[in-house]
Amino acid sequence: MRDWNPKIVVFACNWCAYQGADLAGSMRYGYPPSVVIVRVPCSGSIEPEYVAAALAKGADGVLIGGCHPGDCHYKEGNYKAENRFLLLRRMLGEMGLEKDRIRLEWISASEGKRFAQVMTEFDREIRDLGPVGRRKYA
């Protein structure tokens, strides 16, 4: 498992999290190459099926990034995302997967450094969990 590298899918809101990722790149803040960004109109547009499909197709972790509460360009999209996220965490537990394989973060367009830090932290957490379907035992 030493040669294993996680696959992390990030669904990033076009208005905030995606712009934060762009700023991270412009400012040369590095984050792990395990991160694959999928640009979406709003974090509220992420259906639970998208997260389940990402995990079923090989992702070891999924992060949903959106605008801070109260700053959504679609008014309440991030609240919708949060409700779905909480439901997804419960569903993952019922399916036998670790709840920490998914994460929700509010990242604004001006938070490039924070975007890179969150990606690095999530990569580390997923590495600690190991590949989907294989729990690490001490």
Alpha-carbon distance of 63 to 35, in angstroms, equals: 9
109 is written with which tokens?
Answer: 């367009």
Alpha-carbon distance of 6 to 61, in angstroms, equals: 8
113 located within any domain: yes
pLDDT in tens, 12-67: 999 999 999 999 999 999 999 999 999 999 999 999 999 999 999 999 999 999 99
- Span 67-95, mean pLDDT? 94
Alpha-carbon distance of 97 to 118, in angstroms, equals: 21
For residue 49, give the CATH number of its domain.
3.40.50
Confidence of residue 95 (pLDDT cuts 50, 70, 90): confident
Averaged pLDDT score across all residues of the chain: 94
Per-residue pLDDT, 134: 65
Structural domain total, the chain:
1
Does residue 111 contact residue 18 with C-beta atoms inside 8 Å?
A: no
Print the domain residue range for 65: 8-129
Confidence of residue 138 (pLDDT cuts 50, 70, 90): very low
87 located within any domain: yes
